[in-house]
Amino acid sequence: DIQMTQSPSSLSASVGDRVTITCRASQSISSYLNWYQQKPGKAPKLLIYAASSLQSGVPSRFSGSGSGTDFTLTISSLQPEDFATYYCQQSYSTPVTFGQGTRLEIK
C-alpha cells in the first residue's frame, strides 16, 4: 500500500493567516492526489482533486499543488469556517489510502 504522510499533524493559526499543509507519498503518484476537509461530527468534503483542481463551490482561497511524491494544500487567508481537519488521499493505486490528517486550530 502507498503510505501518505501529512505534516504537520496539528497547526495553530489565526484568521487571515496563510497556511500550508504538506502531504508526502511513499512512492510517486503523479497527480493522483485529493484533499478533503472534515469538521467534527461531519463527513469529509472534497476540496481539491487531481492535485490542483478546485472542486465546484469551494472558495478560491483553497489551492493545491504538487506532483510525484510531494503535495501542498494552501489556504491563502484563513476564515473562521476553515478550522477543521484536512486529509490527503491518493488514488494512484488500490487500495486508495489517506493521510493521517492535519488538525487546524484557532490560535
Q: Using alpha carbons only, what angle is made at residue 26 by residues 28 and 65, rounded to the nearest 5 degrees?
A: 55
Other beta carbons within 10 angstroms of residue 1's beta carbon come to 10
| Least distance (Å) between residue 100 CB and other proteins | 5
63 binds other proteins (CB under 8 A): no
Closest CA to 101 of 73, 64, 69, 65: 73
Name the minimum Å distance from CB 95 to other proteins.
Answer: 4
55: phi then psi, degrees, rounded to nearest 5 = -65, 145
Question: Mask: binding to other proteins, 40-59, rule CB under 8 A, as x and -?
Answer: --xxxxx--xx----x----
Binding site for other proteins (CB under 8 A): 31-32, 34, 36, 42-46, 49-50, 55, 87, 89, 91, 94-101
